[in-house]
A and B are shown apart, each in its own frame.
Chain A
Amino acid sequence: MDLKRIGVLGAGNIGIGVVTDLVLHGLSAVVVDVSDEILECAQAKVLNNVRTAPLLSKSLPRVTRDDAMQRMVWTTRLEDVASCDFIVENVTEDWALKQAVYRQLDRIAPPEVCFGVNTSCISITRIAGVTTRPANVVGVHFMNPVHLMPTVEVIRGYHTSDRTLDALLALLAALKKEGVVVEDLPGFVSNRISHLFMNEAAFVLQDGVTTAANIDQIFKKCFGHKMGPLETADLIGLDTVVRSLDVLYESFQDPKYRCCPLLRKLVHAGHLGRKTGKGFHVYPEG
């Protein structure tokens, strides 16, 4: 399967990262989101990511702005992905929204095209069930920042075929990434565990045990993690973390996934992490 032109649905944090990675590796992207304003903002971020990528990783190529622009199409029309070889969907972690997108996408994309569901929590099997091609639906959980992370969590849904899995792994190989294949249960491996860390770190902060900086330092200096749990939550976006916790709570009906009130309060206050300049930590405007 020759994958050259990739449809990317959703131009939020992860969508921007996926487009950056595609462009850096010479693939074309048709990017869809709901407004021109979102697309303009996302395009600027992708161009900045592409420009600064060699600073953050010597293995990433230097791509000029002109070359990057030629590899991207930005549109608000979902129909424009009809010509794509593979679709990576990154819309908000909201079941009502996701299933509406898949019903529409299923009518637009040729029947042989596979859908990569970029979700951190929602069941791949459930999403596949709203399409007429459940064998062509596979989970792909990119890590943030997408273009810097070498490994991706790949989720085999109940009906996912080997052909679909191979197509996704081939796409990841083109992005110089490795996929670790796991089975489908909400949260899979990474978020089912990491969100407990992030949520409990928020409880520790709420309980006044220590500062956010100290919590992160302990993870970095004692455990050797690159980032602490609160920094990680800020990078993901606190709104996304809360949504994922809610999905885990609802899916397993287990109180261990109850969202920390402080975490939810920060979201209500509009402090969503890096993307708004403040979350558990403050990020000075660069």
Chain B
Amino acid sequence: MTATETQTVQAGDQVRATIRQFITSAISLPNLDDEADLFASGIVNSLFAVQLMTFIEKTFAIEVGMDDLDMENFKSVNATAAFVMRKDGRRGG
């Protein structure tokens, strides 16, 4: 693994951890699976997607555009982290 690839993986881990922390601060679920579909499983209701979206916009200084308004981008810790990484090319998008 190159130094750049290592940095990208580390940045991804950090983004994932930040998102996981935000989600678990809203729900009392100590062992949240990063792949778990938050909305389909009923862990949170769909309104939480707006909270999550607002959080990542503020925290990662990215703008969610009209074309990004898709639940698929926010359905799990991993999906949200991948979306943030895609939007922010500096983290290896």
Contacts and interface: CB of A to CB of B under 8 A. Distances in A.
B7 interface: no
Contacts of B53: 52, 55, 286
B10 to A, nearest CB: 25
A241 B28 CA distance: 25
B55 interface: yes
A282 B23 CA distance: 12
A227 B45 contact: yes
B51 to A, nearest CB: 4
Given A226-B45, A286-B55, A55 B26 contact: no
Interface string A244-286: 0000000000000000000000000000000000000011111
A184 interface: no
A281 to B, nearest CB: 8
B81 to A, nearest CB: 17
A284 B49 contact: no
In the complex, which range does the number of interface residues on chain B fall in? 20 to 34
Interface of B: 22, 25-26, 28, 42, 45-47, 49-55, 58, 66, 69-71, 74
B66 A54 contact: yes
B50 A213 contact: no
A145 B48 CA distance: 13
A225 to B, nearest CB: 10
Interface in A187-233: 211, 213, 220-221, 226-227, 231
Of all A-B residue pairs in the complex, the 7 with the closest CB atoms, nearest first, are: A286-B54, A286-B51, A55-B69, A54-B69, A284-B25, A286-B55, A52-B50
Contacts of B50: 48, 52, 55-56, 286
Given A52-B69, A54-B69, A286-B51, A231 B25 contact: no
Given A56-B47, A282-B25, A283-B51, 4 more contacts: A55-B49, A211-B28, A226-B45, A285-B55
A107 interface: no
